[in-house]
C-alpha cells in the first residue's frame, strides 16, 4: 500500500468542510449533489453552497459541502478538504485549505508545485488515467472523472457506499446504463483509495438521526411550490439569473397539479419580451382577479419601477420575487447580496412604500410566498419577497414543508355581485372602514363596479382630479394603509434577556450565520440578544427591542448598510445605538465574520 504524509491533527466526526473545484459544464453538479444527498441519507445535517460562473461552461466552479453534526445552516470559510479537479485553479485551491487539511488532486500528470505547503497533506489519485483505461470517448472520460472523486471521498471519510448505490439507482431508474457507468467510475475512485492509500482520514462521518422529517431543497423551488399552493394562476417573467428557476419550478409543479379533468392547463405562464412587459401582464391579471406574480432580480426591478408605482397608486395587488444578486449594473449575476432593500422599499418615483418579506431559508420561501399573496390581496398593493441567490439557488436542509388543508386565500375587500347590487353607488378609493384600505371590485362582476383604473391623479371616488386637496386626501389615506400593513406583517423572532445590553439584528440569509455567531460569542464570554427581522414595514416590537439595548449590531450583506437605513427611516429610535456588520463580497456570510467584527467593535466600549 502506498502511503502519503497525513497531517497530525485530532480526529473529527461529522464536523468539517469539503470544497470541490471543477470546470463548469463537466458534469460535476451531479457528483456534488450525490455526495450531499448521501451524507443527508446517513442522517447527518449538511449545507451545500455552489459558486459558479455566469457563462455556460468552461470557467472554474466550486461546490462546498459543510458536514455539521450540530446542525448549523450557514457556510464556513474554514476548508478542511479540497478536491482539486481544475488545473487552472490549483494554486488558489491549495491556498484555501486551512492548516492541517487535505488537498486531493488528479495525479495523472505530475504537478510538483502542489507540494509547496508543508502544513497540509497533498494526496494524488490518477483520476484521468483510471477513466482513460476504463471508458471510451473524450466526453465520457471527462464526465466519469468528475464522478470518480465521489468514490475516493467516500473511502476517505467513510460514506456508506450502499447509500450511494441506492441514490444512483433512484436517479437513473429509467436509464440503467447510466447508473451502471456512474457506479463503475465511483468504484474506480473508491477501490483505488482502499488498495493504494492510507485511509480513512482523521475527518470522517458517522450515521446520525438528525435529518428525519427534513428535506434538501433550494429556495426557488420552494417558492415555486408556494405559488401553486397560494392559488396563483398567472406568472409572467423575463429570464434573469438567479430568479429563472422560480418560474421553472412553478411550471413543473403546475404541469403536475394544475390540470383540469379534460387535461387542459389551469394556469398561464408567459415569457415576456422584457421585465417591463412582465410586470404589466401581472397587473392586468390581478386587476381581473387572478393571483399573479413575477420573479426577477435587481436589474429587473429597476426596469419595472414605473409600473410598480402605478400598482401602488392605483392599488393593484401583485407579488414580486426579487432573488437578489450583486450589483450595481450587471454586477456579478451568480453571486449573492442583500443589496436591493432600498430599491424595493421605495420603488418608483414619488412617495411610495412597499411591503417586503425576508425569507431566511427555503422553508420560509414556501410559507412567506403564501403570506405575500394574502398580503397583496388584503392590502391591494405590490408585495416583495426578498430572497437572494444564496437562499434561492443553494441546497438547504429544511424541515418538511407542511400544508394546512384548512388554508383559504385571504382575498381582502373584494365586493361580490350581490354586495354591489345592494349598495347605492360604488367608490373605488373611498375608505369606509378607517384602515386605509378601500373596497374593490372585479371587472364584469356587476355594472356598479369598476371597469377601469388609473395611475393619474384621482380622488377618493375614483374620478380624475388635479385638485391638490383631493390628491393629498388619497395619498394621506395610503399612509394610513401603510400603518395598517405594519400590524399585518409577520412578527420578528426575538430572543431577549434582561442580562444582556447588546444585541444582534439579522434577516434573510444572514440569519443562520448570526445564530451560529451567537454561539461562538457565548464561548468567548459575550452574551447577546437577537432579533430576526422578517418583514417591512417593521412592527413596533422591533423599536422596543432596539431601545432596550446600549448597542445593536445590524448584520447585512451590502456595502451601504441599507437595513440600518430602513430602520432609522421607519422607526423612532436613537440611531447611535445601531452599529453595522457588513459583508458584501458576493459570497454567503460566515458566522466568524459576525463574531469577529462584533468582538473587535466591543473592545472600544
Q: Domain limits of the chain?
A: 12-212, 217-399, 417-488, 493-602
Which DSSP string corresponds to 322-338?
Answer: EEE---STT--TTS---
At the fourth CATH level, the homologous superfamily of domain 12-212 is: Pyruvate-ferredoxin oxidoreductase, PFOR, domain III (3.40.920.10)
pLDDT band (50, 70, 90) for residue 2: low
Give the pairing type, strands 318-324 and 268-271.
unpaired
pLDDT of 565 strictly over 50: yes
SS3 state at 492: coil
Q: Report d(CA 601, CA 595) in Å as an integer.
A: 10
Residues 315-339: what's their mean pLDDT?
96
**Contact predicate 376/317, CB 8 Å:** yes
Looking at the predicted structure, is the pLDDT value of residue 141 above 90? no
- DSSP string covering 266-291: S-EEEE-SSHHHHHHHHHHHHHTT--
Q: With beta carbons less than 8 A apart as the criterion, state whether 223 and 365 touch.
A: yes
In tens, the pLDDT along 388-399 reads 999 999 999 999
Contact present, 421 and 448 (Cβ < 8 Å):
yes
Q: Which of 153, 161, 162, 163 lies closest to 189 in space, CA to CA? A: 153
Q: DSSP letters of 496-548?
A: --TT--EEEEEEGGGHHHHHHHHHHHHHTT---EEEEE-EESPPHHHHHHHHT
Q: How confident is the model at residue 246 (pLDDT cuts 50, 70, 90)?
A: very high
Could you please state the CATH topology (level 3) that the domain comprising 217-399 is classified under.
Rossmann fold (3.40.50)
For the entire predicted model, the pTM comes to: 0.95
Tens of pLDDT, residue by residue over 422-480, are 999 999 999 999 999 999 999 999 999 987 888 999 999 999 999 999 999 999 999 99
β pairing state of 268-271 and 234-237? parallel
Q: From 420, 480, 423, 470, select the one nearest 450 (Cα to Cα).
A: 420
Question: Which CATH code of 3.30.70.20, 3.40.50.300, 3.40.50.10860, 3.40.50.920 fits the domain covering 493-602?
Answer: 3.40.50.920
**114: pLDDT strictly greater than 70:** no
- Predicted confidence at residue 56, as pLDDT, reads 65
The DSSP code for 588 is P
SS3 192: helix
The arithmetic mean of pLDDT across residues 365-371, rounded, is 98
Residue 200 has pLDDT above 80, yes or no: yes
C-alpha cell at 365: 420561501
CA distances from residue 338 to 222, 298, 322, 562 in whole angstroms, order as listed: 19, 10, 10, 9
- Longest Cα pair distance anywhere in the chain, in angstroms? 93
Mean pLDDT check: name the lowest of 119-123, 364-368, 580-584: 119-123
Mean pLDDT of all residues in the chain?
94
For the chain, give the percent of residues with pLDDT over 70.
Answer: 98
The mean pLDDT value for 483-487 works out to 97
Q: Which residues, in sequence order, are CB contacts of 349 under 8 Å at separation 6+?
A: 305, 306, 309
Burial class (CB in 10 A: 0-12, 13-18, 19+), 144: buried
- Band (pLDDT 50/70/90 cuts) for residue 113 is low
How far does Cα 457 stand from its chain's mean position? 38
Query: Is residue 491 scored above 70 in pLDDT?
Result: yes
- How far from 560 is each of 328, 546, 565, CA to CA, in Å? 12, 20, 9
Position 140 scores a pLDDT of 87
Can you give the pLDDT at residue 55? 75
Q: What are 436's three cell numbers?
A: 386605509
- Strand, coil or helix: what is 305? helix
User: What residues pair up with 48 in beta bridges, in sequence order?
Assistant: 65, 395
CB 432 within 8 A of CB 408: no
User: What is the spatial distance between Cα 341 and Cα 318, in angstroms, rounded to a whole number?
Assistant: 18
Mean pLDDT of 295-303: 97
217-399 has the same fold as 12-212: no
How many whole angstroms separate alpha carbon 382 and alpha carbon 320?
A: 7
Task: State the pLDDT confidence band at 270, using cuts at 50, 70 and 90.
Answer: very high
Q: Cα dihedral sign for 167, 173, 178, 179?
A: positive
What's the mean pLDDT in 359-377? 98
What DSSP line would sit under 215-253, residue for residue?
A: EEE-HHHHHHHHHHHHT--EEEE---TTTHHHHHHHHHH
pLDDT band at residue 1, thresholds of 50, 70 and 90?
A: very low
Kindly give, in sequence order, each residue whose CB lies less than 8 Å from that of residue 165, ignoring residues fewer than 6 positions away.
Answer: 183
Instruction: Identify the sign of the CA torsion 519, 523, 524, 528.
Output: positive
Backbone φ and ψ for 151, nearest 5 degrees, come out as -65, -40
Q: What is the mean pLDDT of residues 304-318?
A: 97
- Give the per-residue pLDDT at 96: 96
pLDDT at 5 over 60: no
Amino acid at each position: 500500500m502506498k502511503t502519503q504524509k497525513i497531517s497530525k491533527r485530532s480526529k473529527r466526526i461529522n464536523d468539517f468542510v469539503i470544497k470541490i473545484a471543477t470546470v463548469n459544464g463537466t458534469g460535476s453538479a451531479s457528483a456534488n449533489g450525490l455526495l450531499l444527498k448521501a451524507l443527508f441519507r446517513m442522517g447527518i445535517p449538511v449545507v451545500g453552497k455552489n459558486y459558479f460562473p455566469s457563462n455556460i461552461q468552461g470557467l472554474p466552479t466550486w461546490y462546498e459541502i459543510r458536514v455539521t453534526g450540530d446542525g448549523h445552516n450557514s457556510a464556513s470559510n474554514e476548508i478542511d478538504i479540497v478536491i482539486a479537479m481544475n488545473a487552472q485553479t490549483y494554486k488558489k485551491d491549495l491556498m484555501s485549505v486551512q492548516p492541517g487539511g487535505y488537498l486531493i488532486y488528479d495525479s495523472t500528470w505530475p504537478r510538483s508545485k502542489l507540494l509547496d505547503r508543508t502544513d497540509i497533506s497533498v494526496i494524488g489519485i490518477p483520476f484521468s488515467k483510471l477513466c482513460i483505461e476504463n471508458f471510451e470517448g473524450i466526453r465520457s472520460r471527462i464526465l466519469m472523472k468528475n464522478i470518480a472523486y465521489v468514490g475516493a471521498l467516500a473511502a476517505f471519510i467513510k460514506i456508506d457506499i450502499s447509500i450511494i448505490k441506492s441514490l444512483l439507482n433512484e436517479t437513473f431508474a429509467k436509464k440503467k446504463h447510466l447508473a451502471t457507468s456512474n457506479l463503475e467510475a465511483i468504484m474506480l475512485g473508491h477501490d483505488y483509495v482502499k488498495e493504494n492509500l492510507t485511509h480513512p482520514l482523521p475527518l470522517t462521518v458517522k450515521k446520525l438521526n438528525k435529518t428525519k422529517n427534513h428535506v434538501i431543497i433550494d429556495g426557488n423551488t420552494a417558492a415555486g411550490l408556494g405559488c401553486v399552493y397560494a392559488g396563483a394562476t398567472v406568472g409572467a417573467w423575463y429570464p434573469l439569473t438567479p430568479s429563472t428557476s422560480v418560474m421553472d419550478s412553478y411550471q413543473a409543479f403546475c404541469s403536475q397539479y394544475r390540470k383540469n379533468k379534460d387535461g387542459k392547463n389551469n394556469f398561464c405562464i408567459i415569457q415576456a419580451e422584457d421585465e417591463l412587459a412582465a410586470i404589466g401582464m401581472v397587473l392586468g391579471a390581478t386587476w381581473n382577479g387572478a393571483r399573479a406574480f413575477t420573479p426577477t432580480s435587481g436589474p429587473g426591478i429597476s426596469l419595472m419601477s414605473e409600473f410598480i408605482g402605478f400598482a401602488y397608486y392605483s392599488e393593484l395587488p401583485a407579488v414580486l420575487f426579487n432573488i437578489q444578486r450583486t450589483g450595481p449594473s450587471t454586477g456579478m449575476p451568480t453571486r449573492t447580496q442583500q443589496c436591493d432593500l432600498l430599491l424595493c422599499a421605495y420603488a418608483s418615483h414619488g412617495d411610495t412604500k412597499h411591503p417586503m418579506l425576508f425569507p431566511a431559508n427555503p422553508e420560509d420561501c414556501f410559507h412567506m410566498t403564501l403570506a405575500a399573496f394574502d398580503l397583496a390581496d388584503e392590502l391591494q398593493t405590490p408585495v416583495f419577497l426578498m430572497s437572494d441567490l444564496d437562499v434561492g439557488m443553494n441546497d438547504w436542509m429544511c424541515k418538511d414543508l407542511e400544508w394546512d388543508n384548512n388554508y383559504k386565500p385571504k382575498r381582502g375587500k373584494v365586493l361580490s355581485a350581490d354586495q354591489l347590487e345592494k349598495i347605492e353607488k360604488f367608490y373605488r378609493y373611498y375608505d369606509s372602514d378607517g384602515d386605509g384600505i378601500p373596497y374593490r371590485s372585479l371587472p364584469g362582476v356587476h355594472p356598479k363596479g369598476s371597469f377601469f383604473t388609473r395611475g393619474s391623479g384621482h380622488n377618493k371616488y375614483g374620478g380624475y382630479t388635479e385638485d391638490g386637496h383631493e390628491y393629498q386626501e388619497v395619498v394621506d389615506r395610503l399612509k394610513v394603509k401603510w400603518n395598517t400593513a405594519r400590524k399585518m406583517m409577520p412578527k420578528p423572532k426575538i430572543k431577549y434577556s434582561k442580562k444582556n445590553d447588546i444585541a444582534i439584528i439579522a434577516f434573510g440569509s444572514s440569519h443562520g450565520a448570526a445564530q451560529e455567531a451567537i454561539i461562538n460569542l457565548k464561548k468567548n464570554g459575550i452574551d447577546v440578544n437577537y432579533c430576526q427581522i422578517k418583514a417591512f414595514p417593521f412592527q413596533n416590537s422591533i423599536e422596543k427591542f432596539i431601545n432596550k439595548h446600549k448597542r445593536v449590531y445590524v448584520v447585512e450583506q451590502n456595502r451601504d448598510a441599507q437595513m440600518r437605513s430602513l430602520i432609522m427611516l421607519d422607526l423612532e429610535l436613537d440611531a447611535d445605538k445601531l452599529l453595522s456588520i457588513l459583508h458584501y463580497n458576493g459570497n454567503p456570510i460566515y458566522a466568524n465574520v459576525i463574531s469577529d467584527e462584533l468582538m473587535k467593535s466591543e473592545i472600544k466600549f
